[in-house]
Amino acid sequence: MSRSTESADLRDNASPVAAALEFGPLNRLAGYQLRRAHSRFFSNFAESLAEYSVTPVQLGLLLMINHNPGVSQTALARAVGIERSTLGEFIDRFQDRKLVERRGSLVDRRSHALHLTIEGATFVKNVMPAVFAHEESVMSVLTPADQVTLVRLLAQIARD
Amino acid sequence: MSRSTESADLRDNASPVAAALEFGPLNRLAGYQLRRAHSRFFSNFAESLAEYSVTPVQLGLLLMINHNPGVSQTALARAVGIERSTLGEFIDRFQDRKLVERRGSLVDRRSHALHLTIEGATFVKNVMPAVFAHEESVMSVLTPADQVTLVRLLAQIARD
């Protein structure tokens, strides 16, 4: 169920009972707030980017290949924290969509160098305004200073 | 693959190529950092709480029932943002494990009032120290003030 449907449902059926629920220690648990914020952030990502049919993970991979032309699958898998076999499946699907191509690596003949195709580069260029618009719409509940702080603190958690 | 295995793998095979990858706009995208922090937070949750075999979502539901004895499935589903049918399946499994019981509601005869069993209350009491320890271990990369800030900003995003 999409977030907007869910919100409409909430509005129509909101009851004092639901509104008055106690969250106990949950409200103070960073893990709980992280899970709710994550789900809030991505629940309407697919909707916002419907015409591009790309998931957040796929988009991240395309951006990484765009900024690291010739990157190996091994290095890319490590950098984004995805298992190599899973990454291989992603790349297969990108190849089917003609967004990415595997070329022979110049440094390691056993590995493939990943490049965006011209279509892939155009795709990334076209999709980014929608990504930034989605980001802005979710983040607009925070002040600009708080937005910067949130990204900084999340990055500290994300880094090992 | 567990986070610890992944880290070991990184350490053993780290190459300058992987270390030097450019993240382009990803590092500034809150959505990207949120996804990475989320995955960092929950990758070792199952491990840390192995002896309790409980997921973050299950734990959140048990805490909500604990703090709202007699809550209806409808109100609980709304409060935590889970579809009613999905919640029903969770409650079925809690009943199988004798952690939760459905009693007739005093206010609405068509709906069930959810209560923790004595076993359920004991389970919650026993699991919480492990939850707080996991939370503390992940959050310890931040100063205490930053921990409070992060929870506050995430809650603002999570709230519609």
- Would you say residue A120 has pLDDT above 90? yes
Of A1, A60, A141, the CB nearest to B157: A141
Helix axis angle for B84-96 and B56-67, nearest 10°, is 90
Give A31's contacts (C-beta < 8 A, 6+ positions apart).
B41, B42, B45, B56, B131, B134, B135, B138
> What is the C-alpha to C-alpha distance for residues A17 and A21, in angstroms, rounded to an integer?
7
What residue of B is the nearest CA neighbor of A86?
B1
Distance from CA of A152 to the nearest CA of B (A): 9
* Residue of A24, A64, A156 with shortest CB distance to B142: A156
Q: How high is the pLDDT of residue A108?
A: 65
The CA distance from A10 to the nearest CA of chain B, in Å, is 7
Chain B residues with CB inside 8 Å of A155's CB? 27, 33, 36-37
Select, from the ranges A76-85, B16-25, B39-48, the one with the highest average predicted confidence (pLDDT).
Answer: A76-85
Cβ distance A18 to B79 less than 8 Å, yes or no, reads yes
- Does A135 sit within 8 Å of B31, measured CB to CB? yes
What pTM does this model have?
0.77
What pLDDT, in 10s, does the model give residues B50-100?
Answer: 889 899 999 999 999 999 999 999 999 988 888 999 999 999 999 999 999
Whether residue B24 and residue A63 make contact (CB cut-off 8 A), yes or no, is yes
Distance from CA of A120 to the nearest CA of B (A): 16
Structure tokens at B93: 């499994």
The token duo for B37 is 């922090």
- The C-alpha of B64 sits at a distance from chain A's nearest C-alpha, in angstroms, of 6
DSSP code string of chain B: --HHHHHHHHHHH--HHHHT---GGGGG-HHHHHHHHHHHHHHTHHHHTGGG---HHHHHHHHHHHHSTTEEHHHHHHHHT--HHHHHHHHHHHHHTTSEEEEE-SS-TTSEEEEE-HHHHHHHHHHHHHHHHHHHHHHTTS-HHHHHHHHHHHHHHH--
CB A94 within 8 A of CB A53: no
Q: Could you tell me which residue, A111 or A85, shows the higher pLDDT?
A: A85
pLDDT in tens, A42-53: 887 888 888 898
Pick from B7, B18, B30: CB nearest A139: B30
Q: What pLDDT shows up at residue A25?
A: 85
Name the residue of chain A whose CA is nearest to B26's CA.
Answer: A60
Residues of B in contact with A68 (CB under 8 A): 21-22
B31 and A83 within 8 Å at the Cβ level: the answer is no
Q: Do residues B141 and A156 touch, judged by C-beta distance below 8 A? A: yes
Mean pLDDT of chain A: 84
Beta-carbon separation of A154 and B39 below 8 A? no
When pLDDT is cut at 50, 70 and 90, the band that residue A1 belongs to is very low
Q: Which residues of A touch B143 (CB under 8 A)?
A: none
